[in-house]
Amino acid sequence: MLLSGTLLLALALVSRAANPCCSNPCQNQGVCMTMGYDGYKCDCTRTGYYGENCSSPEFRTWLRVTLKPSPSTVHYILTHFKGVWNIINNIPFLRNAIMGYVLTSRSHLIDSPPTYNSDYGYKSWEAYSNLSYYTRTLPPVGHDCPTPMGVKGKKELPDAKLIVEKFLLRRKFIPDPQGTNIMFAFFAQHFTHQFFKTDTKKGAAFTKGLGHGVDLNHVYGETLDRQHKLRLFKDGKLKHQMIDGEMYPPTVKDTQVEMIYPPHIPEHLKFAVGQDVFGLVPGLMMYATIWLREHNRVCDILKQEHPEWDDERTFQTTRLILIGETIKIVIEDYVQHLSGYHFKLKFDPELLFNQRFQYQNRIAAEFNTLYHWHPLLPDTFQVQDQEYSYQQFLYNNSVILDHGISQMVESFSRQIAGRVAGGRNVPPAVQRVAMASIQQSRQMRYHSMNEYRKRFQLKPFSSFQELTGEKEMAAELESLYGDIDAMELYPGLLVEKPRPGAIFGETMVEMGAPFSLKGLMGNAICSPEYWKPSTFGGDVGFEIVNTASLQKLICHNVKDCPVTSFQVLQPRPAETATINASTSNSALDDVNPTLLLKERSSEL
């Protein structure tokens, strides 16, 4: 009798309907809450919508949505009519008004304070307060849902290796039609390592970063102990060494700072900087060297302006100045280039002072995932007239000393990067990183690409052909996933058809821009309390921040002031060969690049 009752109970549990929230019934950011085992209720509070599923717009919402142009229309307007935009760019009140709208419309798409993490798909104090987690834009798909994407698609996702090989792996290098160069690719990797720091020991849901934003810990170190080991404790400066009259980072031996290098690397080539993985490729160490020089340069300026200041105040104020320089360069050079806009973006925190804006930020796991732009990387790296394979390039700081920072800047400014969207452009050397990105996304139980499109106010794709813009990949994807509403986020971003003449597809831009602008403008230095000359040591320091640019950063810190940009420069006439790559790679011929990249996959 007891056995019969237990069997009946088990059958009842099996027959019970799936969690009704698995079907994502609540639209327009309505929150789904279960009511018993088979009922749900949508909380439509402050969404601008009402009804059972938050699908009926209030009048003001209907009017706003009706009048608001689509993202593709806005993109078209901003990337055409150059003559009109040149006029607008020179009318301060118009430029300020448009830039203010860009900032608020993007930033307000990001939840602040944070809402979810990978272990809490509902609001909780733990999800809000535990900084060791990445936050989440959408809660994870429930463990009790019938399919990995909720209710749509097949019960098992296709093999990650198969997805990479069929749809992501490069057959032939596809250059970026926007003309993005390798200088940009390494800047992106260097810049983001200060806040994308997955804690592989704890899992993909966790970050080792404590700041969750632009704090330059990749220059100064995440911990106070690391910072102190890198500091000179004189005039606010960082430790350094002079080689052939130029400043370079100190060595691991001289600082006792932990860095990741293979054991056979000579001691004099083990440079020590704020981020322990920056010895991986010379492009990262190039930027680390440039920012080291900039820090010490600004210290000299402040010391002249404030001879009464001690080492600590000079150091701390210089760090604030460099944070400001970084944000300005990212908005006015980096994001400007990516956008392709004729409208000139502007870094001006005062544009938000009369807005409802919270000066805090949490890095979202989805932002970390979408930023895996490995198609940017070329097949080989060209420095002057030397071509380096991945095997020759990895962990090879001798490239920096052999060529010099000036030649690296010039060479990387002239080498074109790969197109990110459109599929089939991930270099074979980093295919394991792409596989890891897919596997980690599945561990995080991300929702489908279409759910993220809806979250960022984009129309969901109706078919795989609409996603890819072609038939062959679309048919293959459909056979593997079964339903467009089951298409995974990360592979979807990489196979999405690019906007005309652009590096990215629509989803990458419309998701990435809000995360980026909120993270930049949510920085403490952008707040009314901080954004004033005294924060930066007076008018001289404030001027350094307000006039910063990529070209100025290079000219102030690199010999001969090579012309640079994130847009590929036209090559100069060939120069005489002086260095042979096969003899300047510090005996790295026996290093397996695939294995090394696999080991560092969570950091790339």
Active site residues: 193, 371
Token pair in block for residue 549? 């640019």
Q: Which residues of 8-47 are buried (b: 16+ CB within 10 A; e: fewer)?
A: eeeeeeeeeebbbbbbbbbbbbbbbeeeeeeebbbebeeb
Coil, strand, or helix at residue 256?
A: coil
Q: Letter for the amino acid at 164?
A: V
Q: Letter for the amino acid at 577?
A: A
Burial of 298 (C-beta count, 10 Å sphere; 0-12/13-18/19+): buried
Neighbours of 189 (CB within 10 A): 24
Coil, strand, or helix at residue 504?
A: coil
Q: Letter for the amino acid at 115?
A: T
Neighbours of 304 (CB within 10 A): 9
Token pair in block for residue 575? 């120069």
Strand partners of residue 181: 416
Are the C-beta atoms of 504 and 180 separated by less than 8 Å?
no
Q: Letter for the amino acid at 510?
A: E
End-to-end CA gap in the chain: 59
Burial of 56 (C-beta count, 10 Å sphere; 0-12/13-18/19+): middle
Cite the DSSP H helix spans in 160-307: 160-163, 182-192, 217-220, 224-230, 252-255, 282-305
Whole-number Å distance between alpha carbons of 556 and 558: 6
- Per residue, the 3-state secondary structure of 138-185, as one string, reads CCCCCCCCCECCECCCCCCCCCHHHHHHHHHECCCCCECCCCEEHHHH
What's the length of the chain?
A: 604
**Dmax (CA) of the chain:** 92
Are the C-beta atoms of 413 and 181 separated by less than 8 Å?
yes
